[in-house]
Amino acid sequence: MSAPNQDIDQKFPLELNEPRFSVKDPKVRFDMQGDMSDEQRVETAMRNFVKDFGRTAAIYMESCIHCGMCAEACHFHEVTKDPRYTPIWKLEPFKQAYKREYGPFALFFRLFNLKPKVTHAQLAEWQHLLYDSCTVCGRCSLMCPMGIDIATLISQARHGMFHAGLVPHELYAVAERAKREGSPLGATPKVFADRVDWLADDHEVDIPIDRDKAEVLCTMSSIEIMKYPDSVVATARVMNHLGVDWTFRTDGYEATNFGLLSGNAAWQKQMTMKLVDAAIACGAKTLILPECGHAYQALRWMGANMNGKPLPFRVLHMAEFLAENVREGRLRLKKVGKSVTFHDPCQVARRGGAIEAPREVLAALGVELREMFPTKGTNWCCGGGGGVVAIHRADKLRHKVFQIKMDQIEKTGAEIPVTSCANCRQTFDDGQAHFKWDKTMHSLLEMVADNLIEDDA
């Protein structure tokens, strides 16, 4: 595994304490929801963490050999060298509670106070470690020689934090809005329908919505609907070009899942079941997820568990759908003729396994692919996933982490950076503006839609 280049700070000289803009720094804070006492919050956090606990998690807790490899795998640790950002350390309060209350030697840990009780002050510090400085990218899990899935344990710890009312305010607010309105960014069913009508008219493209029956149900992320609406148009152009029997539906279109990111399993299930129910309602045989990493994780790999039984339809990320049609000869594309580097979204590639699909599509576009190093499943995270991009107080640290990606891309010498995740794209746009960088992240889907070879009349 390669550490990031040592001269990053010389190339992109922005230190954590060096402001770029006149916006005031957010105050150091510890966010709380509800009116529980400190003791109740600690008890609730630990109880809900243990609620998800099973044999596998217990084995993980007993297996750590403190080798430090997860630290080298974490982008937050690599840019700061702060031992607090060691991934396994982010689980310390929960490991502490496990050892003291539930482990095989719990009696001795309590008797000799080898692991003291978790305190409210600890959870105040760990809110920053579990949310602000972890994108749940899974690089630590991949590198762990003992096979500990640290990223999954972080998600379980977030469940406990959410129930104890210990979530960063911005992340809680967007998750609650998604639960209440159906979308974290206000893309309600009416807003989505109105936007589809406007886009269809403005771009002169047919965008079916709320069809009773369809072979394929397409979904979007709120970031695409509100910030990158060309992705909606690109989806329609590709589907119509392929002659797919497809639709959007206002009862199941929002693929973003902030229940997953914030740690509320009930809200996560609610968002998931909207998609499941909408697909079943229209008889879809395939549900296509948009360019959104956590949407892929939430439905492709967790959807059946939320549903309580296997899903009665296929779930594909948009990149997988495009690659499938390239392989079968239905999707023919013009040659772009430029050099490209591809940013692998963590939840799609490393956590989801859909690594080669976007590269098949890029090959069909005739680009010169210049891989980053490291790449594919070991690629560095953009630094904004897991809800981090929504937390304002985490901006300075996130910008510091983003320099790893800038350095990776610069070293390839590629003309165009491309990705298949709108959340990554948003992080890149923010980083580009912050550093006044001359690279703009592009959407794989939009690149395909712009280079379709129309059949001869």
Confidence of residue 2 (pLDDT cuts 50, 70, 90): very low
Average pLDDT of 109-115? 88
pLDDT at 28: 60
CA–CA gap between residue 4 and residue 20 (Å, rounded): 23
CA–CA gap between residue 135 and residue 397 (Å, rounded): 12
For residue 149, give the 3-state DSSP assignment.
coil
* Domain edges within the chain: 31-167, 182-325, 332-449
Average pLDDT of 411-430? 97
Average pLDDT of 350-366? 97
Q: Is the pLDDT of residue 399 over 80?
A: yes
User: Which sign does the torsion angle of CA 291, 292, 295, 296 carry?
Assistant: positive
Sheet of 216-218, strand order: 246-247, 216-218, 286-289, 314-317
Q: Each residue of 206-241: pLDDT tens digit?
A: 999 999 999 999 999 999 999 999 999 999 999 999
pLDDT at 6: 41
pLDDT at 172: 95
Q: Is the pLDDT of residue 20 over 80?
A: no
pLDDT at 151: 95
**What mean pLDDT is reported for the chain?**
91
pLDDT at 25: 56
Average pLDDT of 329-338? 96
pLDDT at 23: 47
pLDDT at 113: 87
The whole model's pTM is what?
Answer: 0.91
pLDDT at 5: 41
pLDDT at 456: 53
Q: Is the pLDDT of residue 454 over 90?
A: no
Same fold, 182-325 and 332-449: yes
**Fold classification of 182-325 (topology level):** Rossmann fold (3.40.50)
Confidence of residue 8 (pLDDT cuts 50, 70, 90): very low
Q: Is the pLDDT of residue 26 over 60?
A: no
Instruction: Write down the CATH number for the domain with range 332-449.
Output: 3.40.50
Instruction: Write down the CATH number for the domain with range 31-167.
Output: 1.10.1060
Q: Is the pLDDT of residue 121 over 60?
A: yes
Q: Each residue of 51-99: pLDDT tens digit?
A: 777 788 888 888 999 999 999 999 999 999 999 999 999 999 988 888 8
Q: Which amino acid is at 148?
A: I
pLDDT at 1: 42
DSSP calls for 190-235? HHHHHHHHHHHHHHT----BS-S--SEEE-B-HHHHHT-THHHHHH
Kindly report which listed range (120-129, 272-281, 365-374) carries the lowest average pLDDT score: 120-129
Q: Are residues 143 and 70 in contact, defined by beta-carbon separation less than 8 angstroms?
A: yes
More confident residue, 106 or 388: 388
Q: Is the pLDDT of residue 10 over 60?
A: no
Confidence of residue 266 (pLDDT cuts 50, 70, 90): very high
Contacts of 47 (CB under 8 A, 6+ apart): 160, 163
pLDDT above 70 coverage of the chain, percent: 93
pLDDT at 7: 44
pLDDT at 96: 87
Q: Are residues 343 and 417 in contact, defined by beta-carbon separation less than 8 angstroms?
A: yes
